[in-house]
């Protein structure tokens, strides 16, 4: 049975319709300046899928083809060349949302209309250039046309292009919010004065999350961190104040603290493909540290579908407190 045939058998939406839970109402209360449209789109993401109403999220992002090239991204699992494959996986697994660039969303927009909240990844980098920058490849009108709940935008704190990126997302986010569309920010620290080790240092990850919150993000995506401290002046404070960063769960808690004391939703990226136990350990640390969940791409779609579905199911069980 083809993907298109399968979708005819699914319900029109997998959104929970029982009304907002107390947890989701509390989260929405943190977004004090937002209009009802934006809050409705945030609630749609939070009330969809297996984790509906819990305040936890698992989002499937598939922008790696643009970023790294098609063969590097999908060659290991050829079914994943088809954009419908990713839509269907996000729906069938009970993800909260599906994020992708313009072309991939357009390729399934009619078949999957209303089936899952969409996040339009509005800017992208690629492997053909060395610059730590991203081009803006879609518009807020595209997000409206496709029925997206949010736009996604990557910033590179520390990059020589950072100030331009800040100005780009300020304008795009302002327009999106005026139409009731939420903003998700990928915040990846990198640049000429930051070491490779520093890109995942806890002080840098926390700083990147805080910058995204200050730039108006509703949902922040960052990498999981190490206990390395990159900036000498920050290292002094961490040591003097005895900020707990010894375990991954403690570092997650500190990133949440840096995101307006948990008043902003933060999801953590899965990163490069790793063994299943490593993925589950990451999810347990996010859960224990009070993070809002995972945004996990390559660790899903580069595996056979049945294996990826089972892994997503277990991750969601961890966020439900069933497997910690």
Active site residues: 188, 221
Element (H, E) at 99: strand 97-100
Answer yes or no: are the C-beta atoms of 255 and 266 closer than 8 Å. yes
Q: Are 62 and 95 in contact (CB under 8 A)?
A: no
Those residues whose C-beta lies under 8 Å from the C-beta of residue 187, and which sit 6 or more positions away, are 154, 155, 157, 208, 209, 211, 212, 217, 220, 221, 222
Six token digits for residue 284? 């347990």
Residue spans of alpha helices (H) in the chain: 3-7, 22-29, 36-46, 64-68, 70-74, 83-93, 102-108, 140-145, 162-178, 202-214, 232-240, 248-258, 276-288, 298-301, 305-319
Longest CA–CA span in the chain (Å) reads: 61
Number of C-beta neighbours around residue 261 at 10 A: 9
Whole-number Å distance between alpha carbons of 153 and 217: 9
Q: What burial letters (b/e) apply to 28-61, b meaning 16+ CB within 10 Å? A: beebeebeeebbebbbbbbbbbbbbbbbbbbbbb
């Amino acid at each position: 049975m083809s993907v298109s045939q399968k979708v005819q058998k699914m319900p029109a939406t997998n959104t929970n319709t029982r009304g907002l839970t107390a947890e989701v109402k509390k989260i929405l209360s943190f977004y004090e300046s937002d209009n009802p449209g934006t809050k409705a789109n945030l609630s749609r993401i939070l009330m969809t899928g297996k984790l509906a109403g819990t305040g936890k999220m698992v989002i499937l992002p598939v922008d790696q083809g643009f970023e790294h090239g098609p063969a590097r991204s999908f060659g290991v699992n050829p079914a994943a060349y088809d954009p419908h494959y990713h839509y269907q996986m996000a729906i069938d697994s009970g993800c909260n949302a599906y994020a992708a660039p313009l072309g991939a969303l357009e390729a399934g927009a009619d078949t999957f209309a209303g089936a899952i909240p969409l996040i339009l990844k509005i800017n992208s980098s690629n492997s053909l250039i060395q610059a730590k920058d991203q081009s803006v490849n879609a518009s807020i009108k595209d997000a409206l046309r496709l029925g997206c709940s949010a736009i996604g935008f990557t910033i590179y704190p520390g990059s020589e292009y950072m100030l331009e990126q800040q100005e780009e997302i300020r304008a795009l986010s302002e327009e999106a919010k005026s139409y009731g569309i939420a903003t998700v920010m990928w915040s990846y620290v990198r640049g000429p004065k930051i070491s490779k080790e520093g890109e995942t240092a806890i002080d840098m990850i926390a700083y990147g999350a805080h910058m995204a919150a200050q730039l108006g993000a509703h949902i922040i995506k960052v990498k999981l961190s190490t206990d390395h401290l990159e900036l000498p002046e920050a290292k002094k404070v961490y040591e003097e104040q005895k900020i707990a960063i010894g375990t991954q769960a403690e570092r997650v808690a500190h990133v949440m603290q840096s995101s307006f004391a948990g008043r902003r939703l933060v999801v953590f990226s899965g990163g490069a493909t790793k063994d299943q136990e490593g993925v589950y350990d990451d999810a347990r640390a996010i859960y224990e540290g009070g993070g809002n969940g995972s945004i996990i791409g390559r660790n899903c779609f580069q595996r056979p579908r049945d294996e990826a579905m089972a892994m997503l199911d277990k991750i969601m069980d961890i966020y439900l407190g069933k497997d910690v």
